[in-house]
A and B are shown apart, each in its own frame.
Chain A
Amino acid sequence: MNFWTDPLKMAADWLTGLLTGWGMPEGVAVGLAAFLGIFVLIAILMVIDIFLVWLERKVVARFQDRIGPNRLGPFGLIQPFADIVKLLIKEDITPANADKVVYNLAPILSMMSVLILWAIVPLAPQILGIDLNVAALYIIATGAIGTLSIIMAGWSSNNKFALLGAFRQVAVMVSFEIPMVASLLIPTVLAGSMGMNKIIEAQNIWFVVLSPLGALIFMIAAIAELGRSPFDMGEAESELISGYNVEYSGMKFGMFYAGELLHAFTFGGFWGILFFGGYSFFGLEDVSPFLAIPILLTKAVIGYWIIMWVKYTMMRIRIDHMLAFNWKFLTPLSFVLLMVTALVHVLFKDTSPWLYGLSMLGSNLILGWVVIEFLRRFSRAEREKLEGHAKPAMEAAGH
């Protein structure tokens, strides 16, 4: 064991050795070292978060055929730091009518709900915060804190726009939690464990190959959970000004904003962990954690980029359509997919890997095709009901 293969353990051993050398009890020293490690991890996350602001602005600029920040530093890289200085020297305004305690607690909880998600993220085979055996449930549980922070912000602001935004956002978040739970169950079934590290180790074949439909449902549910476009009913800047955070300014708004960006990045990372093999990439992760961490972060950035791509491409959907899409389409589909996955898993897991993989992929593709065909028939019937049995436009133009 050396620094190259297991830096975290080396650092922890060195630190606990140093502390016990000063006459500190063993348990306290280990606890203090862990506390410092967690502090460093979260500090690094905040630095990543700062660059996510730059990345987001740069990418949205490209999507909208602009250049984006390019004045401060090379490629505008200093811009987010200027933004932070600006946020820090803004006046801290609490509206006179607001519920002061809840109002001030909401942005803190919003940021916290994202940061504690990283407790279970395995950065490398040796470097993982905590290898919880109920990690999948932990994701759902921390998501609930985020939901709580939004309803707290909307309610305590004592502003009608904020209240409306918060209600919508929470309705969307709790609704899409059901398909999210169901799609989290699919890697759990395939790996036979809820632990993130075990799920990664089980991915000899990436789970996205075994269950592409599951990966898709997880992504849709994650975007809804983040409250990003096309599911950004809570913010809806063109109708609700800024939704649940309309009364917030300065660093409190900054916490909501930074929390949202880091949340998107984190879910990009979870997408990579659950369906794209996490830190593993053709055995490179066993060489050194210094290779494994960039692999995971690259996958997280790719996931984040897809979330941004969807955000800047799709328009906002009306709330009743959105909830109908979830309850009448995504929820039944995710449960059917779960049943099919469980059945195929048990029937084929002892056969050859090829047969197992092909039957899993095949069942997913057949289910996807059936669903799309059903939707097409249904929407055609609906359209004919509305238009009468009019001829399609193409045909009418031909004659």
Chain B
Amino acid sequence: MHNEWLYVAFFFVVGLIIPVGAIGVALILGPKKPNPVKQETYECGLETVGDSWVQFKAQYYIFALVFLIFDVETVFLFPWAVKLGQLGLFAVVEGIIFITILVVGLVYTWRKGMLEWA
């Protein structure tokens, strides 16, 4: 069991080595002639105005929040789905109640107008 996660760690290591190697080779082979104009922010030739690190539309945050609730709750559904065959009808009814609570949360968000792109 622990061996399996060791192999996953190997995959992470090799998965890092390959792109780092490719970018490293490109770094060695490519020319290095930096100048201030080349390193400017690219906006199709126009000079950039102001900072890009600004506070941005709050709607994205709300979607992220709705996602977070759903994502955490769906993780609970995986063990239920695996053992469904052994647990029988009672578990199905319980699962349906659980999902219904999730959907009620979605309907609440919807009614509150949080899913509109305002």
Binding site for B on A (CB under 8 A): 31, 34-35, 38-39, 42-43, 46, 87-97, 104, 107-108, 111-112, 115-116, 118-119, 129-132, 134, 136-137, 155, 157-163, 167, 170-171, 174-175, 177-178, 181-182, 185, 188-189, 192-194, 241, 246-247, 250-252, 254-255, 319-320, 323-324, 327-328, 331-332, 335, 338-339, 342-343, 345-347, 349
Bound complex: CA A160 to CA B52 (Å): 5
Contact indicator B96/A342 (Cβ below 8 Å): yes
Residues from 1 to 49 in B contacting A, C-beta threshold 8 Å? 4, 6-8, 10-16, 18-20, 22-23, 25-27, 29-34, 36, 38-44, 48
Least CB distance, A97 to chain B, in whole angstroms: 6
Contact indicator B44/A346 (Cβ below 8 Å): no
Contact indicator B60/A178 (Cβ below 8 Å): no
Residues of chain B lying within 8 A (CB to CB) of residue A347: 89
Bound complex: CA A349 to CA B43 (Å): 60
Least CB distance, B102 to chain A, in whole angstroms: 7
Least CB distance, A110 to chain B, in whole angstroms: 8
Further contacts, 5 of them, CB under 8 A, given A92-B30, A327-B66, A335-B102: A38-B14, A94-B39, A116-B15, A181-B74, A331-B106
What are some 10 contacts across the A-B interface (CB < 8 A)?
Answer: A95-B41, A112-B15, A112-B16, A160-B43, A171-B63, A185-B81, A251-B27, A319-B117, A327-B115, A345-B85
Q: Are A177 and B39 also in contact (CB < 8 A) when A92-B27, A159-B52 are?
A: no
Q: Are A116 and B82 also in contact (CB < 8 A) when A93-B39, A160-B52 are?
A: no
Residues of chain A lying within 8 A (CB to CB) of residue B81: 185, 188-189, 342
Contact indicator B89/A346 (Cβ below 8 Å): yes
Contact indicator A174/B115 (Cβ below 8 Å): no
Contact indicator A111/B18 (Cβ below 8 Å): yes
**6 A-B pairs with the lowest CB-CB distances in the bound complex, closest first:** A320-B117, A251-B26, A115-B15, A111-B19, A112-B15, A96-B39
Contact indicator A88/B29 (Cβ below 8 Å): yes
Bound complex: CA A11 to CA B89 (Å): 47
Least CB distance, B6 to chain A, in whole angstroms: 7
**Residue on B with the closest CB to A249?**
B42
Please pick, from A159, A335, A342, the residue contacting B103 in the complex, using a CB distance under 8 A. Answer: A335
Residues of chain A lying within 8 A (CB to CB) of residue B75: 137
Least CB distance, A16 to chain B, in whole angstroms: 14
Bound complex: CA A136 to CA B81 (Å): 11
Residues of chain A lying within 8 A (CB to CB) of residue B77: 181, 185, 338
Residue tally, chain B, CB below 8 Å to A: 70
Bound complex: CA A89 to CA B27 (Å): 8
Contact indicator A327/B18 (Cβ below 8 Å): no
Contact indicator A192/B84 (Cβ below 8 Å): yes
Least CB distance, B90 to chain A, in whole angstroms: 9
Residues of chain B lying within 8 A (CB to CB) of residue A129: 7, 11
Contact indicator A39/B14 (Cβ below 8 Å): yes
Please pick, from A132, A159, A250, A346, the residue contacting B41 in the complex, using a CB distance under 8 A. Answer: A159
Q: Are A178 and B117 also in contact (CB < 8 A) when A35-B14, A171-B63, A342-B84 are?
A: no
Bound complex: CA A323 to CA B52 (Å): 25
Would you call the interface of chain A mostly helix, strand, loop, or mixed?
helix
Q: Are A178 and B67 also in contact (CB < 8 A) when A93-B39, A247-B41 are?
A: yes
Please pick, from A137, A252, A338, A349, the residue contacting B23 in the complex, using a CB distance under 8 A. Answer: A252
Least CB distance, B89 to chain A, in whole angstroms: 5
Least CB distance, B15 to chain A, in whole angstroms: 4
Residues of chain A lying within 8 A (CB to CB) of residue B36: 96
Contact indicator A155/B53 (Cβ below 8 Å): yes
Bound complex: CA A131 to CA B60 (Å): 37
Bound complex: CA A112 to CA B25 (Å): 17
Q: Are A91 and B32 also in contact (CB < 8 A) when A108-B20, A188-B78, A331-B106 are?
A: yes
Please pick, from A132, A254, A339, the residue contacting B95 in the complex, using a CB distance under 8 A. Answer: A339
Least CB distance, A18 to chain B, in whole angstroms: 19
Least CB distance, A139 to chain B, in whole angstroms: 12
Bound complex: CA A91 to CA B27 (Å): 7
**Residue on B with the closest CB to A254?**
B22
Least CB distance, B72 to chain A, in whole angstroms: 11
Q: Is B108 an interface residue (CB 8 A)?
A: no
Residues of chain B lying within 8 A (CB to CB) of residue A342: 81, 84, 92, 95-96
Least CB distance, B79 to chain A, in whole angstroms: 9
Contact indicator A159/B42 (Cβ below 8 Å): yes
* Contact code string B67-100 (vs A, CB < 8 Å = 1, else 0): 1001100110110011111001101100110010
Residues of chain B lying within 8 A (CB to CB) of residue A118: 11
Contact indicator B26/A88 (Cβ below 8 Å): yes
Residues of chain B lying within 8 A (CB to CB) of residue A111: 15, 18-19
Residues of chain A lying within 8 A (CB to CB) of residue B71: 174, 177-178, 181
